[in-house]
Structure 1
Amino acid sequence: MSKIKVLVVDDSLTMRGLISAALKSDPEIEVVGTAADPIEARAAIKELNPDVLTLDVEMPNMNGLEFLEKIMRLRPMPVVMVSTLTAAGTDVTLAALEIGAVDAVAKPAVASADAFQELIGKVKTAARSRVRARADMPASAAAPTAYRPAANHVLAIGSSTGGVEALLTVLSGFPADCPATVITQHMPATFTSSFAARLDRVCAPKVAEAVDGAPLQQGHIYLAPGGAAHLEVTSGMTPRCRLVASEPVNGHRPSVDVLFESVARLGRPMTGVILTGMGRDGAKGLMAMRDAGARTLGQDEATSVVYGMPRAAFQLGAVERQLPLHRLSPAILELCAHSGARSIA
């Protein structure tokens, strides 16, 4: 089995050494080169043809975001951002993920190779991801013109790696009176508040981090906070968000399975959607929803950055129909419309 070839790009010689040492500690990874700025990196990419790029944000000659945009336009490849500016849920992190970075990690406060162990897993995931030129991404299909919201419908969405772009694409096609929507996106606690604010700025519905006890309302989207708790939905006359502090499930907290399984118990019209992501989280929960009468959709392989979670759910029989990312928004709205479930075109 060939090793994953990684190019490390950072303006600090010390940091390049630390990142390289951490990655070299894994027998599946080969650091084929390093670069101090985008000019060096561009030449190294042509010469070394790496599988994955780790990229700093603050660099001379051209900042990392500008370089990332050029990469995604001219030579799409998996990129993991590594920078002090990618900590604390900053807009820089979200901008990088929107542009096309597969994932992001923060430089540690105390520099050591051990502090970059998280990066090893992210590089391996990135190497298995599908990255496309931004020009190749079709615009979202138009929403149904006859959409009328069903007041008691609950929509649950789960996503992971690649989910920032996927959720922005899906949710930006929602009208202001969208169904009450709950989302679990695998994301560190420092990122989810900024991501919810970003979604709220670009989407017609109201988007916010879920708060314990908040009633589910039409026209509102609730994003699970990262890190400390799972998001569930309680049953009753008015379903409510519930944040449950418990152990990770499938290695994640919040977990998509936990959310989906709670929605399956609501006993009301519901739709479940599983988007791009590594692993199997959400497959069993989506199956529980379908068994309980939900309509279910999954992102297809061609448009998933990582076709792991959608594949697992599809193979389990939990996904009723797979669709490309740009067609999911109108299909979701059709299933959540007042007239009830229809066929999916």
Structure 2
Amino acid sequence: MASRSELGLERVKQKLEKCFESGDFYHTHQMYRTIYFRFKRQEKYAECKDIMFEGAERLLSKGELNSGADLAKLYLEVLSKGSIQADSEIMKKLAKLHSMMKPSSPERVDFTGECLQYSTVLGDLSDKKAFGHPNMHRLLALNYWAETNFRDAKYHFTRSLDGTSCALMLIEYHLSKGYKSEVDLFIAQTVLQYLCLNNQRTATVAFYVYTRWHPNVDGPPFVLPLLNFIWFLLLAVETRANLAIFTVLCERYKSFLARDPMYNVYLDKIGQLFFGKAVAPSERHPAGGLLGNMISQLMTELDEEVGLGVYSEDVD
């Protein structure tokens, strides 16, 4: 026999359905909140989470943005208070609710931060210093990309492990918003940011996908010096090259790295992470070994064949 509490909950659910079917979304919202507080008092978070997700999704789908966002927040509270693991399915549900919210609304901004906080605390993060699970960042990035909000998409992609999608987004971003002369800047900054976050693998994937599929890029080796620098840098990181090689690279491409003052900031961090210390580009050391010889030879060939000085930012 059902308890009085269970019978009362069933009556609330029946009333909720009638309100929703009749288009009375105000009282639908209130019924969902009643259910939330009943389960909360009993600490039945596992039973409550699916109902809160259902309510948020239904109201958002009807254009009830404030009420839907409120239930989405309660859904997150249930997940957090119940210490429910941030697995891939739950993160997909959070991303779905995120995609249904009005892009510029304060509710969505708050929800984004709360999703990342939840995935940080209850996700299977290996990097405990990170803010937000890489998969949560990836799903948010895909939402922003679909909205052609390339700036926010890039921010979240660089904190994900999806270098392929990041590169394809950057190609679309450059072709639709950038100047022809910026084709190398779009990927260079992203690769350096990935490396600063100690994400070598994703940096490499993003670089090779971008340079393979961008219609205005050929190589390697590349006509554009900055792309050659990034290529050599990734090789140096992958082969655990010594500090001397890194120093020579920075010195050799110093004039092209001056295009963005942030590059030296990134390279200082990359020097610490992968080459043992921060190094100023002006500090010269002999570069030896197989990689050093290969880089030296390629640099000479590039000087002879395409010239490091032929590229101008003023080209349209």
TM-score by length of 2: 0.33
Q: Larger relative CO (CA 8 A, sep 6+): 1 or 2?
A: 1
TM-score by length of 1: 0.31
In our comparison, the structure showing a higher alpha carbon Rg is 2
